[in-house]
Structure 1
Amino acid sequence: MDRPITLHQPPRLEIGTGAARTLGTWAEGAARPLVIASGPTQQYVERLGLSGDVRVIDNVPPEPDIPAFEAVLEVARAHGPDLVVGLGGGSVLDVAKLTAALWDSPQALAEVAGPNRVSGRRTRLAQVATTAGTGSEAGIRALLTDPETKSKVAVESPYLLADIAILDPELTYSVPPAVTAATGIDAMAHCVEAFTNIRAHDLIDAYARLGISLVGRFLRRAVENGADSEARAGMMLASYYGGLCLGPVNTAAGHALAYPLGTRLSLPHGLANAIIFPHVLAFNQPVRPEKTAEVSAALGLAGAGSPEGLLMAAHGFCADLGVEMRLSAHGAEAPALEGWAGEAHAIRRLMDNNPRDMSVEDIHDIYRAAL
């Protein structure tokens, strides 16, 4: 409790059905908005009520790499925006953060990679989430894939924080059930990994508990009925709480193990984390029994008193939501797993947060169990 932490939050949060329509009023006076979206999310641009010379980029791919970001940056520099709007899931929101910070900056991406290296020049930034998973709208981090190394480039800075974040459950109605499930489990993983982290803090624990509880109450409902506004709003709030957990505490082994699955198999971030989540939860149970018991109770996991029982229960929870949990079904082959284990083990910014030491062989065992 007495360890100093810093918690960043967007100065304005709009949440609720129809909240997307508030952006136009907030953004009044912006003459050249740039909306960064993806194919599925560009349909919501008109709901934002923006005026002026609005430019829309609608081709941000899932798990964007550096060339994809540089293509967005080129368009931004040609447009000269006085407002950048991220409209999408975590990949889109991360690209929007970096675009707002770098389009009019002398700094290159390589110069800002890591913590607290962004100079501070930034265009106004609005983040409008269309999924309930990453919580990127709440945070100060952005991730891109380096296509040469197949690793994640992480930028962390308070200058990536949105001026306004908008959580409108209507924008998530069209998210398919399987994606709803995977991104919802990712939101939960953010909360759980922060909750059981060696850097855990009482303030962040409170947000984590709220997020885990909301997932337990609303994820299944959101999967079964995409137009359940209360469930969708509950999951967006859970995702936001997960994003708050990331700033001061961050994730741990679960996300480290998920990253090679994203870069090597091109798995969406949420799906990669959903596959890994039960395995790391069970692995850490012996050193975090009380907190793991809280997680199990919130999710209604029966028979979770031992690591073996917990693994089965948590795996069943994810699979019952419609997540394909077998890595082999996503193209993974056994000979590649050892190399991926080494890659995951090398992500020390996350692995060093894990409450239980995890060797390369431990990671290899988890990948084999998930195959």
Structure 2
Amino acid sequence: MSAIDKPITIHQPKRLEVGAGASARLGSWAAGVERSLVIADQHTASYADALELPGNVTIFADVTPEPDTSVLERAIAFARECRPDLVVGLGGGSVMDIAKLVAALWDGEQALKDVAGPNRVQGRRTLLAQVATTAGTGSEAGIRALVTDPDSKSKIAVESPYLLADFAVLDPVLTYSVPPAVTAANGIDAMAHCVEAFTNINAHDLIDGYARMGMSLIGKYLPRAVADGQDTEARAGMMLASYYGGICLGPVNTAAGHALAYPLGTRLSLPHGLSNAIIFPHVLAFNESVHSEKTREIAGALGLHFDGSAGSLFDSAYAFCRDLGVEMQLAKHGAQEEDLSTWAEEAHGIRRLMDNNPRDMTVDDVLAIYRAAL
């Protein structure tokens, strides 16, 4: 069976609003809603008024980067007090993931342990809107939510069509204040979503199309968005790229790159985008030998120098990330040599992603990448 005739299912939000000022359209869509709960972080809570929501609006602004189960528990308890008709995720991927789970769980009998894994959520009765304030995760497009287990430091993944937004917004104005280094890391995360789906063993021609569009937009607009945060065209281009990357995650998902990034987030408390940016050139070069044609496409879209060797690809991809302002050395983020073996075991154990990689990666391979990134 070729990639084009494999069965595939794509889920997308029921309604998507795109463009400068699009966030204000949420209010008219939500006409008749009496109680709204906005899930945010301390920064994005300030955008709540721009949504022009009707009725009584309550804000839970305690979502942290890489939130653990305690954050979700507090958010669910908060929701049970205000009993919302509508839950709105207003933020980046962490905020939107918490919003998905709150909307699905606050008024039912299921707990997180009951829904971990694929297709275990029994239903959702509360409306869900997602308003992205970063361009990276593409969480507004998807049916997955991730929360960190504070004991194991591993990610708990929930996947269900019931986590899909009824209404999603890509408003580039809400990303103006994202700092250059964060813009760069988030953009590389979106790039990793597209690249890892494009080179995945589960790759599909339909998803390849979204990946190509995403990579092309990132190559064109990410340097501009980093250089000028109020370049509305560049910000809009990056939000579209992030959305396309989110679509790639649904039926195909990521692979080794994200598996290696997760321990960096849970162990070093690095933002998800930064973790992926550090890992990206290493895994791209590792997989080159089994996907040379697609690698040439990736290099062309991003403007990378690639002479057919993994070394040239790595050097160019590393420079691409570094020149955008990403600190690429793990040691500068607090990593130590003695930690790497444990992290390698953890990353290698994330089989839901590792098993998607086009080239088998051993624990020693993972450790070698971590050491090279140190």
TM-score, shorter chain, exceeding 0.5:
yes
Please say if residues 69 and 149 of structure 2, whose CA atoms lie closer than 8 Å, have aligned partners that are also in contact.
yes
Asked whether 1:12 is paired with 2:8, we answer no
* Distance of 1:255 and 1:90 partners within structure 2: 14
Within a 5 Å distance, the mapping from 1:170-319 to structure 2 comes to: 170-319=173-322
Letter in 2 for 1:251: T
Partners of 2:256 and 2:283 within 8 A in 1: yes
- Using the TM superposition, give the Cα deviation of residue 266 of structure 1 relative to its aligned residue in structure 2, in angstroms: 0.4
* Separation of aligned partners in 1, 2:108 and 2:273: 31
Structure 1 counterpart SS, 2:90: strand
SS in 1 for 2:5: coil
Q: Distance in 2 between matches of 1:303 and 1:201?
A: 24
Residue in 1 that maps onto 2:81: 78
- Residue matched to 2:143: 140
Match of 1:51 in 2: 54
Secondary structure of the 1:131 match is coil
Q: Work out whether residues 304 and 311 of structure 1, in 8 Å CA contact, stay in contact via their aligned partners in 2.
A: no
| Alpha-carbon offset, residue 59 of structure 1 | 1.7
SS in structure 1 of the partner of residue 56 of structure 2: coil
Q: 1:105 aligns with which of 77, 92, 108?
A: 108
Residue 315 of structure 1 aligns to which amino acid in structure 2? Answer: Y
**RMSD after superposition:** 0.6
Using the TM superposition, name which of 85-94 and 37-46 deviates more: 37-46
Question: One-letter code of the match for 1:227?
Answer: Q
1:30-74 residue CA offsets vs partner (Å, 9 max, x unmatched)? 100000011111111001001211101112101100001100110
Q: Aligned residue for 1:352? A: 355
Compute the displacement of 1:319 (Å). Answer: 0.1
SS at match of 1:55: strand
Q: Which amino acid aligns with 1:150?
A: K
Question: How far apart are residue 299 of structure 1 and its match?
Answer: 0.7
Report the Cα distance in structure 2 between the residues aligned to 1:121 and 1:316, rounded to whole angstroms.
45
TM-score, reference length from structure 1? 0.99
Aligned partners of 1:297, 1:358: CA distance in 2, in Å? 26
How big is the shift at 1:125? 0.2
Structure 1 residue 19: Cα displacement:
0.1
Question: 1:120, CA displacement in angstroms?
Answer: 1.0
Shift of 1:304: 4.5
Q: Choose 227-236 or 39-48, whichever is displaced more.
A: 39-48
**Structure-2-length-normalised TM-score:** 0.99
Deviation per residue, 1:299-358 (Å, 9 max, x gap) = 111245211111110000000000000000000001110110010000000000000000
Correspondence 1:113-132 to 2 at 5 A: 113-132=116-135
* Secondary structure of the corresponding residue to residue 166 of structure 1: strand
Contact 2:194 2:214 in 1 (8 A): yes
The gaps in structure 2 that reach 5 residues or longer are none
Q: Secondary structure at the match of 1:337?
A: helix
**Is the CA contact (8 Å cut-off) linking 1:222 and 1:231 kept in structure 2?**
yes
Asked if the contact 1:122–1:159 (Cα under 8 Å) also holds between the matched residues in 2, the reply is no
Query: CA separation in 2, counterparts of 1:261 and 1:356?
Result: 22
Residue 121 of structure 1: CA displacement?
A: 2.7
Q: CA deviation at 1:114?
A: 0.1
SS of the counterpart of 2:17? strand
Aligned equivalents of 1:121 and 1:222: distance in 2?
Answer: 36
Aligned-partner Cα distance in 2 for 1:56–1:72 = 10
Q: Secondary structure at the match of 1:200?
A: coil
What is the percentage of aligned positions where both structures have the same residue? 70
Q: How many residues align?
A: 371
Separation in 2, partners of 1:79, 1:73: 10
The runs of 5 or more residues in structure 1 that have no matched partner are none
1:68 corresponding residue in structure 2:
71
CA distance 1:55–1:304, change in 2 (3 Å): farther
Looking at structure 2, the residues matched to 100 and 322 of structure 1 have their Cα atoms a distance apart, in angstroms, of 36
Contact 1:296–1:304 (CA under 8 A) maintained in structure 2: no
Q: Secondary structure at the match of 1:54?
A: strand
